[in-house]
Amino acid sequence: MCGIFGYIGSKKNAAQTVLSGLKLLEYRGYDSWGIAIKPQNLKLKTQNEKLIIDKHIGKIGKAVIGNKLSVISHLAIGHTRWATHGGVTDKNAHPHLDCKKEIAVVHNGIIENFEDLKKDLKNKGHKFASETDSEIIPHLIEEEMKTTKNIEKAVKNTFNKLKGMNALVVSSIKSNEIIAAKTGSPLVVGKGEEDFYLASDASGILPHTKNLLFMSDNQMVILGKKPKLLNLLDGKTEKMTFEKATWETKFEEKGDFPHFMIKEIGQQSTIIRSIAKNIDSQLEKLTAAIENAHGTFFIGAGTAYHAGLVGTYLFSKISKRHVNMAVASEFNYLLDFINKESLIIALSQSGETIDVIEPLSIAQKKGSTIASLVNSPGSTIFRMSDIKLLLNAGVEQAVASTKAYTAKVSKLLIISYMIYKREDEASKQLLLAAEEIDRIIKEKEKLKPVADFLSKSENVYIIGRGVSFATSLEAALKIKEVTYIHAEGLAGGELKHGTLALISKGTPCIVFAPQDETYQAILSNAIEIKSRGGVIIGVGPKKEDVFDYFIQVKDCLDANPIAQIVPAQILAYLIAVKRGLDPDKPRNLAKSVTVK
């Protein structure tokens, strides 16, 4: 999590460049932000010449450069924070400084051994201003400088002391360089005509240059007049090879929409239509790999996990194939039986989720084939995959994933039918779902009474059977993350095994009831809930007596999970707005989860 942006070069307004970069990276963390600049014309003759630091709590939003930073500067580093160690305060915001306030550091990751290192530094007399793990870095560098007298060596020695997955960027009042090092957390260098950019995600750099260098783990880069790339394991210099990005990251404005979430919900039908019409060669490659693999595993986190779960039902029903699905963070503990004949298919919107990257790297070392369905070209997962499928859903800016979810499920539907050699059928069903989504969105006002009812609830239970079980999990996730209402999705069959005990008079329960093989059984579950006082919100093609509220979703055959999730997304959005919350940036969450 956390966004890092750095600039060094001929532009005179480094702070402005960094601020604009941070705004593009704000999706990575938005509880506070800060910038450090090295002002121009420093003679370093007096003790007063210092880095200028500006830190703020809250979202960057429309922030502008204040007086403090509006001096000529060719070097700046900045950070947008998602708190891990220490609350959301000015002091905990990055950049952090050493005792002499000469070294500024921004950091992404978690320093696993920070307590021991901090204790040691305190014993040596260092004073700390924040509760963060990150603040030990400038102090460690300061300490190293005493013996090395060289910032490059000091950063290198410091980095080698840190345990965990970390990316750090350093600037010192005494050097005209930005120094950065990483392991785990991403860092990308951009090379302009007369300058360098550094960011945790290429999307922040692409407005300036397409020449990119994706840093590998245990590399350190020194950006300045004599740029250098070092391998921190053997200390050797490596060639700085920049590749040309072939993609663009088009950030959109909200336009007439009050929030990105509702805009992105509305884009889904267009994306699905485009997926239905474009069967690319990578899809064929993936289908062949699935057919040849000895064991196929989907992995993903959160919404991506739910998309994969839908996939397991589609593969079983349509292609008569067993696919294993694992929550990515748990896959670490299930890797023993993975071998070079295994195929791992990673699902990820950002392509940067550490919980996905970690097991993928292990599987890759074991020789497994890695395939991925990701939305961000150039992302870590995309680059490390043998078979790369882009979702082409466009940049998803709202934290809650909507269009990337339906894009993933649409691609999985196509793949299931491709294995069965009937991709034409998948396309037809996707077009059906797209039409139904358009209707649901056009008539979204009809969902308001349900949203009003749910917005007063503390709990909501959501059930489905078969593929709709996965939909119920995703619907629950959407509701809880943007409305902060406790929402629980479960398989209809599981009700009697415990959760029914929580149903009492007035408890809302959303029931996904498509007219498939689950229909009768899920209606029986609805009746069981109703007879305990529950209020039933039925979602499906047909109104039934047991429903207190009815949300119609016409039958879209195997594309049902795609159409069915849309009213749940809209409900989550409407409830959040009704409760006065910002659905685009829910509390405690970030768009890209790059720490474990």
Q: Which is nearer to ligand F6R, 77 or 482 (CB)?
A: 482
Instruction: Map residue 227 onto helix, strand or coil.
Output: coil
> Edge to edge, what strands does the sheet with 535-540 contain?
486-491, 459-464, 508-512, 535-540, 549-552
311 touches ligand F6R (CB under 6 A): no
| Single-letter residue type at 36 | A
The question of whether 12 is a catalytic residue gets the answer: no
25 binds ligand F6R (CB under 6 A): no
Taking contact as CB under 6 A, which single stretch among the options 168-176, 342-350, 537-545, 576-584 is the one that binds ligand F6R?
A: 342-350
**Contact, 329 vs 301, CB < 8 A?**
yes
Count Cβ atoms within 10 A of the Cβ of residue 483 and give its class: 0-12 exposed, 13-18 middle, 19 or more buried.
Answer: buried
Q: In this structure, are residues 371 and 411 in contact, taking their beta carbons and an 8 Å threshold? A: no
Q: Which stretch binds ligand F6R (CB under 6 A): 44-52, 350-358, 499-507, 540-548?
A: 350-358
Q: Min. distance of Cβ 28 from ligand F6R in angstroms?
A: 11
Q: Which stretch binds ligand F6R (CB under 6 A): 51-59, 212-220, 349-357, 565-573?
A: 349-357
Q: What are phi and psi of 169, to 5 degrees?
A: -130, 130
* Residue 180 or 301 having the CB closest to ligand F6R: 301
Using rule CB under 6 A, residue 409 touches ligand F6R = no
| Least Cβ distance, residue 400 to ligand F6R (angstroms) | 4
Contact flag: residue 593 with ligand F6R (CB under 6 A)? yes
Q: Which is nearer to ligand F6R, 130 or 349 (CB)?
A: 349
Among 8, 155, 309, 356, binds ligand F6R (CB under 6 A): 356
- Rule CB under 6 A: choose which of 80, 219, 372, 401 binds ligand F6R: 401
Q: Cβ 497 to ligand F6R, closest distance in Å?
A: 26
CB nearer to ligand F6R: pick between 305 and 469:
305
The reply to whether 350 sits near ligand F6R by the rule CB under 6 A is yes
Active-site pick, 38, 530, 585, 591: 591
Binding status of residue 348 toward ligand F6R by CB under 6 A: yes
Binding string to ligand F6R for residues 261 to 300, with x set by CB under 6 A, is what?
----------------------------------------
DSSP state of 34: E
Going by their DSSP bridges, the two strands 228-231 and 219-223 should be labelled as: antiparallel
Tokens standing for 161? Answer: 């002391």
**Catalytic residue flag (residue 149):** no
Distances (CA, A) of 202 to 3, 191, 357, 460, 595: 11, 12, 17, 39, 18
Q: How far is the CB of 379 from ligand F6R (least distance, A)?
A: 9
Burial of 5 (0-12, 13-18, 19+ CB in 10 A): buried
- For residue 282, which phi and psi values (nearest 5 degrees)? -65, -35
Q: Which residues contact 342 (CB under 8 A, 6 or more apart)?
A: 293, 294, 295, 296, 297, 363, 366, 368, 369
What residues make contact with ligand F6R under the rule CB under 6 A?
Answer: 301-304, 348-350, 353, 356, 400-401, 477, 481, 593
List, by residue number, the catalytic residues: 2, 591
